[in-house]
Amino acid sequence: MKSIYYKTTKSQAFTLVELMVVVVIVGVMATVVTLTVNDYLVTAKQEVARSEVATIRNALELFYLDHDRYPNNDEGLAILKQSTSRHPSGYVTSDLDDPWRNAYIYIYPGIHSVYDIVSYGRDGQEGGLGPDADIMSWTSEQDQP
């Protein structure tokens, strides 16, 4: 007598619960990566602003050497982009907006130095902490948040 065994096949598909667990795990991982990358982007923009403030300071010093004065508040930083005989492309060739697309604030005579240059950070308003912190020409890089 022969015994007949029926071969049972079990479905190889994922259950709905397993798929939901995987989707939740991927979502949590994507959130963590997004937050981490966002922190790096904020820090990078602050570093760019510090570098641009230093570039503007150098351009102001060149302007002073050529004209024996600093630009007044009416001329502002825009005068640094104008062509001169010694500087045909201007004292600065880059845009005079901070990384958040706000104009740098130029004050002459300055409150903290001969002149002051300020970027109000991400929020575009005076004061703030973290990503909204102001970048100021009179504060050393070590003191910046």
Q: Over the stretch 29-40, which tens digit does the pLDDT of each residue have?
A: 998 888 888 888
| pLDDT value at residue 35 | 82
**66 sits in which H/E element:** helix 16-67
Instruction: Give the DSSP letter of residue 100.
Output: T
Contact between 73 and 106 (Cβ < 8 Å)? yes
Contact between 24 and 16 (Cβ < 8 Å)? no
Parse the chain into domains and list their residue ranges. Answer: 37-143
Contact between 92 and 110 (Cβ < 8 Å)? no
Residue ranges in the chain whose pLDDT is less than 50: 141-145
Residue 28 φ/ψ, nearest 5 degrees: -65, -45
| pLDDT value at residue 143 | 43
The answer regarding whether domain 37-143 maps to CATH 3.40.1190.20 reads no
Grouping H, G, I as helix, E, B as strand and the rest as coil, residue 84 is coil
| pLDDT value at residue 101 | 93
Cis peptide upstream of residue 109 (ω within 30 degrees of 0): yes
Nearest to 81, CA basis, from 118, 56, 106, 51: 56
Grouping H, G, I as helix, E, B as strand and the rest as coil, residue 19 is helix
